[in-house]
């Protein structure tokens, strides 16, 4: 039971051919004569276009692949030090697995990472602010109304067992009226978003020469002195990016050894809270939890968080409606049909396991990875995010940083940027 609750709590294009001109953006506006428009707002003198390829150059330029948490943190550090950098983001939005919804309920919902996984003072530490009380309001997350499913039986865990659990484990917090996305957007993205180029999926990284050469899916070529790669372990495992030279055998082995399971979050709205704050399961791969816990909300939102191999069983159901129906039927079995009686027919299904640019949820927080996982490629291509930390949980200035958490991603971005700066 404790391990499973911990799993719950443990919960980053356009191509044109012209005469050679100086230009200022990855997405180059085209004029009637087929050349780039130097008057456009996204025109960038760091780039050149030459006979069918766009090559972007700058002295000591760093390119960050991925505008998720690690990428934004690395960019913030480079921005503060006045280093030239560009962020290439494969999707049309920043944040990676940090996303939110503001329309489903009367409070904003974290579609991805949700828990702070430390004392709330970690928020000030992450942005170098003094004091233990962050500006943003938080919730101490210690639900006592917790049920456990064993076989076909569901029963409540005693209050004393829950008190012992919280005393023996870790202090947990959540945001009360905001989300991780708001925190990341305000403290990181706002300072660097002008340097993000969206819809730029990198497919090839050539680090065989002095400069690292990146090619996107749409044929745009970028050159940089250093590259910080922050894509998920799932993307690296899928070989979505081709490396030249190929990744060293020891890094490939290290990647294969990392657990990076599929998973999704299914948010369902009900007319009444007939359910406890948490329902754990015997197989330790799924949890139902009250999303509105501590939110002072009038809405009743229950989330099914599925993580691990059993997620594939849900995928086999064929579509989202079938997954929702399966969850409602299961809840009906636990609570004598109350799920069907109270279900309002409204849900959000956020599938991280089958999302092209994540292909999974998070790494095992206790799993120590080989140093080969985070090793740079010839001191040119550096890895940040879940590939960086070689320990499961490690102490940092009095905090215990869980691998796979938002704070571990932030600190990895900072540290890799510092490594490049030094």
How long is the chain?
422
- 40 occurs within a structural domain: no
- 141 occurs within a structural domain: yes
- 225 occurs within a structural domain: no
- 247 occurs within a structural domain: no
Q: Enumerate long-range contacts of 242-246, CB under 8 Å, 24 or more apart.
A: 242/203, 242/204, 242/205, 243/204, 243/205, 243/206, 243/207, 243/377, 243/381, 244/204, 244/205, 244/206, 244/207, 244/208, 245/207, 245/208
User: What was the pLDDT predicted at 42?
Assistant: 36
Q: How many CB atoms sit inside 10 A of residue 152's CB?
A: 7
What is the pTM (predicted TM-score) of this model? 0.86
The span from the CA of 136 to the CA of 176, in Å, is 8
- 398 occurs within a structural domain: no
Domain range for residue 119?
Answer: 98-179+260-351
State pLDDT tens for residues 269-302: 999 999 999 999 877 789 999 999 999 999 999 9
Write the CATH number for 278: 3.90.660.20
Token couple for 23: 């230009």
User: What was the pLDDT predicted at 381?
Assistant: 98
Helices (H), 233-297: 233-237, 249-257
Q: How many CB atoms sit inside 10 A of residue 118's CB?
A: 23
The span from the CA of 267 to the CA of 226, in Å, is 41
Percent of the chain's residues with pLDDT above 90: 71
Helices (H), 293-404: 311-315, 320-334, 338-342
Phi, psi at 47, each rounded to 5° = -115, 155
Q: How many CB atoms sit inside 10 A of residue 397's CB?
A: 7
Cis before 245? omega within 30: yes
- 138 occurs within a structural domain: yes
User: What was the pLDDT predicted at 31?
Assistant: 27
List beta partners, residue 376.
none
- DSSP 8-state secondary structure symbol assigned to residue 369: P
Position with higher pLDDT, 126 vs 397: 126
- DSSP 8-state secondary structure symbol assigned to residue 368: P
Query: CA–CA distance from 238 to each of 143, 203, 304, 376 (Å)?
Result: 38, 12, 26, 19
Helix (H) or strand (E) holding 156: strand 153-156
In 188-262, DSSP assigns E strands to: 196-197, 202-206, 212-216, 221-224, 226-229, 242-244
- 200 occurs within a structural domain: no
State pLDDT tens for residues 26-79: 333 322 233 333 333 333 433 433 444 455 444 569 999 999 999 999 999 999
Helices (H), 10-68: none
**Cα–Cα nearest to 342, from 353, 330, 352, 332:** 332
Token couple for 207: 């680090």
User: What was the pLDDT predicted at 372?
Assistant: 87
State pLDDT tens for residues 119-153: 999 999 999 999 999 999 999 999 999 999 998 89
Q: How many domains does the chain have?
A: 1
State pLDDT tens for residues 295-348: 999 999 999 999 998 899 999 999 999 999 999 999 999 999 999 999 999 999
State pLDDT tens for residues 155-214: 999 999 999 989 887 789 999 999 999 999 999 999 999 999 999 999 999 999 999 999
pLDDT band at 386 (very low <50, low <70, confident <90, very high): confident
The span from the CA of 228 to the CA of 66, in Å, is 9
């Amino acid at each position: 039971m404790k391990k499973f609750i911990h799993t719950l709590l443990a919960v980053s294009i356009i191509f044109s051919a012209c005469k050679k001109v100086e230009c200022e953006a990855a997405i180059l506006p085209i004029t009637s004569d087929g050349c780039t428009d130097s008057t456009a707002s996204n025109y960038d003198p760091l780039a050149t276009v030459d006979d069918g390829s766009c090559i972007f150059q700058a002295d000591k330029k760093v390119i960050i692949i991925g505008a998720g948490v690690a990428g934004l943190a690395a960019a913030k550090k480079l921005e503060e030090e006045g280093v030239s950098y560009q962020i290439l983001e494969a999707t049309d939005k920043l944040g990676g697995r940090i996303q939110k919804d503001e329309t489903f309920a009367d409070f904003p919902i974290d579609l991805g990472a949700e828990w702070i996984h430390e004392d709330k003072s970690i928020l000030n530490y992450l942005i170098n602010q003094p004091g233990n009380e962050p500006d943003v309001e938080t919730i101490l997350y210690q639900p006592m109304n917790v049920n456990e499913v064993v076989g076909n039986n569901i029963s409540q865990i005693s209050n004393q067992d829950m008190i012992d659990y919280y005393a023996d484990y870790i202090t947990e917090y959540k945001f009360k009226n905001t989300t991780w996305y708001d925190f990341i957007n305000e403290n990181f993205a706002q300072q660097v978003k002008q340097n993000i180029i969206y819809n730029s999926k990198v497919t090839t990284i050539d680090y065989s020469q002095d400069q690292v050469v990146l090619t996107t899916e749409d044929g745009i070529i970028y050159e940089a002195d250093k590259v910080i790669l922050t894509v998920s372990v799932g993307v690296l495992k899928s070989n979505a990016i081709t490396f030249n030279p190929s990744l060293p055998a020891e890094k490939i082995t290290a990647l294969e050894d990392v657990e990076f399971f599929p998973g999704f979050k299914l948010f369902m709205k009900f007319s009444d809270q007939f359910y406890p704050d948490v329902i754990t399961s015997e197989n330790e791969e799924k949890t139902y939890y009250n999303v509105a816990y501590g939110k002072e909300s009038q809405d009743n939102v229950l989330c099914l968080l599925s993580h691990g191999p059993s997620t594939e069983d849900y995928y086999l159901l064929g579509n989202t409606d079938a997954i929702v129906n399966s969850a409602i039927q299961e809840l009906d079995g636990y609570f004598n049909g109350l799920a069907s009686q109270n279900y309002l027919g409204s849900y959000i299904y956020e599938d991280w396991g089958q999302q092209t640019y994540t292909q999974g949820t998070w790494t095992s927080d206790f799993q120590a990875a080989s140093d080969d996982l985070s090793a740079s490629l010839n001191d040119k291509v550096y890895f940040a995010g879940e590939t960086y930390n070689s320990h499961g949980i490690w102490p940092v200035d009095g905090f215990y940083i869980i691998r796979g958490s938002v704070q571990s991603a932030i600190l990895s971005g900072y540290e890799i940027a510092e490594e490049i700066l030094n």
